[in-house]
Chains A and B, each alone.
Chain A
Amino acid sequence: MDPFESIKATFFQECEELLTDLESGLLAMERGEKDSETINAVFRAVHSVKGGAGAFGLEELIRFAHVFETALDLIRSGKIEPTDEVVKILLRANDVLADHVQAARSDGSVEHSRSAAMLDELQTLIGAEAAAALEDGGDDEDDFGFTPVQMVVEDGGEAPAAEAEPPTGPGARVWRIEFQPKPEMYVKANEAGLVLRELARLGSTEVDVDGAEVPPLDQLMAEHAYLRWTIKLTTDQDEAAIREVFEFVEDDCVLTITEETGGETFEDEPPAVVPPQDEFDPAALLARLTGAAPAAEAPAAEAPPEPAAPAPPAAEPEGMDVAGLIAMAQKATTDAEPAAEPAPKAAPAAAASAPPSSTASAPAATIRVDLDRVDRLINAVGELVIQQAMLSQRVIESGLARSSAVALGLEDLELLTREIQDSVMAIRAQPVKSVFQRMPRLVRECADMTGKKVRLVMEGENTEVDKTVIERLSDPITHMLRNAIDHGLETPADREMEGKPVEGTVRLAALHRGGRIVIEVSDDGRGINRERVRNIAVSKGLIAEDAVLTEDETDNLIFLPGFSTAETISDLSGRGVGMDVVKRSVLALGGRISISSEPGKGSKFSMSLPLTLAVLDGMVVTSAEQTLVAPLSNIVESLTPKAEEVHYIGGQDAVIRIRDTFVPLIDVGRALGFRDTPLNAADSVAILVESEGGGKAALLVDAIQGQRQVVIKSLEANYQHVEGVAAATILGDGRVALILDVDALVTTSRRKSAPREKRMAV
């Protein structure tokens, strides 16, 4: 990927995190936490969104973020009081900002009226005066009209050095620059030498340094500024370019820049003459420093000092080291000396600093890795687990004693393998936060639409679960929350009548329980009206009129396909899908969902899901000499059928009576085509399973071998889809076992025995 695009992708990813921080900060403010730490965090989030957007020239986003940021800045500085009313506006602004980010990401646009209305609201908040400043701040907007520059960067110093045009020809101008640093300049780690070096990049320079102020060494103060420079610069650049070189030091030095006119040009001066007395004389200076003035000065006048007196390279890092400065000044003079050359090479200093290319090392607490790579690793570990199991089995088969060195070594290997597998699975684990973070907005919107007052409480946001599971949590949670607000909570008026707080509470929680993740959505609303649920179920023919159901069973009727308790299909939970859809999608993930309710007090949905979709808890069974795996999540119970419980209908279709109901009996061996002859039910084992759709069936197999965790291998990816088979796995003995697609098997059987369906209770 183009590096720029890749950073853009990072930006949008970061935006998501920032928006989450922003929202949780605003929610904290809503709860009354209005300390400066919270407000600052909120401000920073919007500020960072704006900053990044600026780098990519995302105008719409910048404009909105800017106004939003201004409002937050005023709150931060105490000019606006963050009242509940104000926080509510900010929360809505947060939603619009999220829309803007989304629009920028997908190259789309935001519903203009909504954004404009929000902007108006923010402007009103900011107040007339500040808003005017915003308008005036046209400059500020312009700053962000930044067009991304192709990320080709010249290599350290070399390229610009080459760029420096020979300062001859018609464009060449001669500037006289007087530069006298103040001590403050060195305190800020600026260096005169570096400024001179930069100057040299603009053209050819002749540098005079005045060291007259330098005291004897014993009086010299390291942080004082003693030197002043006069530079004659021949360049085709203008004054602004020269000023830019002094940008960082301008306020900490005395600087005059004048253009020299007339014939007094650089080239006119004889280059190799003995420097006049008051010019910089390193030897004299050094002599004065050491206090040996007169003796050393005499020869200096006669014989110019060793010119290239190999001064330490200009790359010397110590900023306040006067000796270094002197060395550099010396260097600048010597560089400028061979003025006969048309383009004096300013390169040495620059070249010394041109860093060799190297790879960056950026230690960070986290790294981002392609999901693809993680998946490859997981696959390989899956193979490792299988291979290890196979090896163990071989060792046992070969008759080696359990105490033998090989068997013991294998045991260690097994432990290690399991540890690796757990660690690898943990890589894919992510906190459910990424899903939870979207919910406050949903709740706000739901509340607005239904006119109810809702407070959302979230718990366990850091509970981790496999990435594949996370992606599929969103829909069921959305649905359960909508259901809780739409059907669970009463209207504020009703709540008041019942003596409840006007604001209803919806709680969304995640926790780990028994190797699974449990998501709970509970509300303090009216609870399920069991009588009504029962009447509806009867009227829709879902249960028999005289069916005896426990309270729990009644509550769970709402998961039956086609059930809807709302008398009018509301805008929210309506849409033709009911809780049956939620249940189906949860079951598809190998999960379970249930509801418990207390009239007048509220209801609680509880859904439990496996922590990963890469491994599966299964029951290993044999049928027609084939080894098969039935997902444990589908299995209700297993039993040994008696001959009199099996009834044949028509040809070979059979049903089995389990307590009061009949369920289709599926001979797995035949259904999958492993054999033709029917199995004698009495010699077999029946496994009662429940499909995703809630339909039940009994699977007839030869024997049950045991429960095992298996690594899922996709059949579609490796072979092709096979009806009735969900996937495959490799067992410890190396055999491939098919994982049954219980849903498909049950659906097929139910089609055949459709008339019986109605008699089945939940």
Chain B
Amino acid sequence: MTKTVLTIDDSRTMREMLSMALVQAGYRVIQAVDGVEGLEILKSEGADVVITDINMPRLDGFGVIEGVRANPDHRATPILVLTTESDVAKKERARQAGATGWIVKPFNPVKLVDAVRRVAA
């Protein structure tokens, strides 16, 4: 069964990079442009994995993690956060909030797919 990955990022460049790598690896990709839209899409369409950026308008990545975990249907949905190496504090905060794993930007496509596979059943 094709796995669906929901990518939430306000940067179109980042969304396209994620999408290209994941689609090539055989995943179905749904994109959302900020946290609010991300949670809406998750609710209406569902997803097997969520990848979210931290810095976003309307609702940031921490909000996304909390929102996903608060939804009984998605308490067990893996969430990967996009972080930068310099931001250890943010990574830890995301982890505490319930993030499953992280992807360090700038990522290379192989690493990205690796991370997704590591959390997606």
The answer, yes or no, to whether B98 is at the interface (CB within 8 Å) is yes
A153→B113 contact, CB < 8 A: yes
The answer, yes or no, to whether B67 is at the interface (CB within 8 Å) is no
A248 with B100: in contact, given A52-B14, A153-B24 (CB under 8 Å)?
yes
Q: Most chain-B CB neighbours within 10 Å: which of A43, A153, A190, A248?
A: A153
B26→A194 contact, CB < 8 A: no
A7→B57 contact, CB < 8 A: no
- Which residues of chain B come closer than 8 Å to A148, judged between CB atoms? 108
Contact flags A314-325 to B (C-beta < 8 A → 1, else 0): 111111100000
For B, the interface residue count at a CB cutoff of 8 angstroms equals: 55
| Interface of chain A: mostly helix, strand, loop or mixed | loop
CB distance from B83 to the nearest CB of A (A): 11
How far, in angstroms, from A47 to B53 measured CA to CA in the complex? 12
The answer, yes or no, to whether A51 is at the interface (CB within 8 Å) is yes
A190→B13 contact, CB < 8 A: no
- Which residues of chain A come closer than 8 Å to B48, judged between CB atoms? 317
A153 with B110: in contact, given A189-B119, A360-B23 (CB under 8 Å)?
yes
Contact flags A163-196 to B (C-beta < 8 A → 1, else 0): 0000000000000000000000001111101110
How far, in angstroms, from A358 to B20 measured CA to CA in the complex? 12
CB distance from B35 to the nearest CB of A (A): 12
B106→A144 contact, CB < 8 A: yes
- Which residues of chain A come closer than 8 Å to B113, judged between CB atoms? 153-154, 156
Contact flags B10-51 to A (C-beta < 8 A → 1, else 0): 111110110111111111111101000000010000001000
B108→A358 contact, CB < 8 A: no
Contact flags A51-64 to B (C-beta < 8 A → 1, else 0): 11011000000000
- Which residues of chain A come closer than 8 Å to B21, judged between CB atoms? 151, 153
A55→B13 contact, CB < 8 A: yes
How far, in angstroms, from A144 to B105 measured CA to CA in the complex? 8
CB distance from A273 to the nearest CB of B (A): 32
The answer, yes or no, to whether A411 is at the interface (CB within 8 Å) is no
A44 with B55: in contact, given A187-B98, A360-B28 (CB under 8 Å)?
yes
How far, in angstroms, from A317 to B113 measured CA to CA in the complex? 18
- Which residues of chain A come closer than 8 Å to B31, judged between CB atoms? 362-364
- Which residues of chain A come closer than 8 Å to B20, judged between CB atoms? 3, 7, 151
- Closest partner residue, chain A, to B49 (CB atom): A189
B3→A7 contact, CB < 8 A: no
How far, in angstroms, from A431 to B110 measured CA to CA in the complex? 39
How far, in angstroms, from A361 to B20 measured CA to CA in the complex? 12
How far, in angstroms, from A317 to B49 measured CA to CA in the complex? 10
- Which residues of chain B come closer than 8 Å to A248, judged between CB atoms? 100-102, 118-119
- Closest partner residue, chain A, to B15 (CB atom): A362
The answer, yes or no, to whether A245 is at the interface (CB within 8 Å) is yes
Contact flags A475-505 to B (C-beta < 8 A → 1, else 0): 0000000000000000000000000000000
A353→B100 contact, CB < 8 A: no
How far, in angstroms, from A762 to B109 measured CA to CA in the complex? 65
- Which residues of chain A come closer than 8 Å to B119, judged between CB atoms? 189-191, 194, 248
A358→B55 contact, CB < 8 A: no
The answer, yes or no, to whether A251 is at the interface (CB within 8 Å) is yes
A319→B14 contact, CB < 8 A: no
CB distance from A483 to the nearest CB of B (A): 37
CB distance from A320 to the nearest CB of B (A): 5
| Partner pick for B100 among A188, A320, A358, A363, CB 8 A cutoff | A188
The answer, yes or no, to whether A598 is at the interface (CB within 8 Å) is no
Contact flags A137-162 to B (C-beta < 8 A → 1, else 0): 10110011010110111111100000
| Partner pick for B78 among A47, A189, A358, CB 8 A cutoff | A189
Q: Most chain-A CB neighbours within 10 Å: which of B11, B55, B95?
A: B11
CB distance from B2 to the nearest CB of A (A): 5
A189 with B76: in contact, given A44-B10, A247-B101, A248-B119 (CB under 8 Å)?
yes
The answer, yes or no, to whether A355 is at the interface (CB within 8 Å) is yes
In chain B, residues 70-121, which have Cβ atoms closer than 8 Å to a Cβ of chain A? Answer: 75-79, 84-86, 95, 98-102, 104-106, 108-110, 113, 117-121
- Closest partner residue, chain B, to A193 (CB atom): B121
The answer, yes or no, to whether A559 is at the interface (CB within 8 Å) is no
- Which residues of chain B come closer than 8 Å to A187, judged between CB atoms? 98
How far, in angstroms, from A459 to B10 measured CA to CA in the complex? 26
B24→A355 contact, CB < 8 A: no
B26→A357 contact, CB < 8 A: yes
Contact flags A711-743 to B (C-beta < 8 A → 1, else 0): 000000000000000000000000000000000
- Which residues of chain A come closer than 8 Å to B102, judged between CB atoms? 248
The answer, yes or no, to whether A11 is at the interface (CB within 8 Å) is yes
How far, in angstroms, from A321 to B1 measured CA to CA in the complex? 20
| Partner pick for B55 among A14, A43, A189, A316, CB 8 A cutoff | A43
The answer, yes or no, to whether A359 is at the interface (CB within 8 Å) is yes
- Which residues of chain B come closer than 8 Å to A149, judged between CB atoms? 108-110
| Partner pick for B75 among A13, A137, A157, A189, CB 8 A cutoff | A189
The answer, yes or no, to whether B56 is at the interface (CB within 8 Å) is yes
- Closest partner residue, chain B, to A48 (CB atom): B11
Q: Most chain-A CB neighbours within 10 Å: which of B11, B109, B120, B121?
A: B121
- Which residues of chain B come closer than 8 Å to A11, judged between CB atoms? 13
A51 with B105: in contact, given A353-B121, A362-B30 (CB under 8 Å)?
yes
CB distance from B31 to the nearest CB of A (A): 5
The answer, yes or no, to whether A301 is at the interface (CB within 8 Å) is no
The answer, yes or no, to whether A354 is at the interface (CB within 8 Å) is yes
CB distance from A243 to the nearest CB of B (A): 13
The answer, yes or no, to whether A356 is at the interface (CB within 8 Å) is yes
How far, in angstroms, from A316 to B76 measured CA to CA in the complex? 12
The answer, yes or no, to whether A703 is at the interface (CB within 8 Å) is no
The answer, yes or no, to whether A390 is at the interface (CB within 8 Å) is no
B25→A155 contact, CB < 8 A: yes
B86→A137 contact, CB < 8 A: yes
How far, in angstroms, from A194 to B25 measured CA to CA in the complex? 18
In chain A, residues 210-263, which have Cβ atoms closer than 8 Å to a Cβ of chain B? Answer: 245, 247-248, 251
- Which residues of chain B come closer than 8 Å to A580, judged between CB atoms? none
B121→A356 contact, CB < 8 A: no
How far, in angstroms, from A356 to B23 measured CA to CA in the complex? 10
- Which residues of chain A come closer than 8 Å to B100, judged between CB atoms? 188-190, 248
A143 with B11: in contact, given A355-B27, A358-B26 (CB under 8 Å)?
no
What are 23 inter-chain pairs, A to B, with CB distance below 8 A? Answer: A3-B20, A40-B55, A40-B57, A47-B55, A48-B14, A51-B14, A55-B17, A140-B84, A143-B106, A156-B113, A189-B77, A189-B79, A189-B98, A191-B121, A247-B118, A353-B120, A353-B121, A354-B26, A355-B2, A355-B27, A358-B2, A358-B26, A362-B19
| Additional pairs, 15, CB under 8 Å, beyond known A40-B57, A143-B106, A355-B27 | A7-B13, A7-B16, A44-B56, A51-B11, A54-B105, A140-B84, A146-B108, A153-B25, A156-B26, A194-B119, A247-B101, A355-B3, A358-B23, A360-B22, A362-B19
- Interface, chain A (partner B; CB < 8 A): 3, 7, 10-11, 13-14, 40-41, 43-44, 47-48, 51-52, 54-55, 137, 139-140, 143-144, 146, 148-149, 151-157, 187-191, 193-195, 198, 245, 247-248, 251, 314-320, 353-365
Instruction: List the 3 closest A-B pairs by CB distance, nearest first.
Output: A319-B76, A248-B101, A355-B26
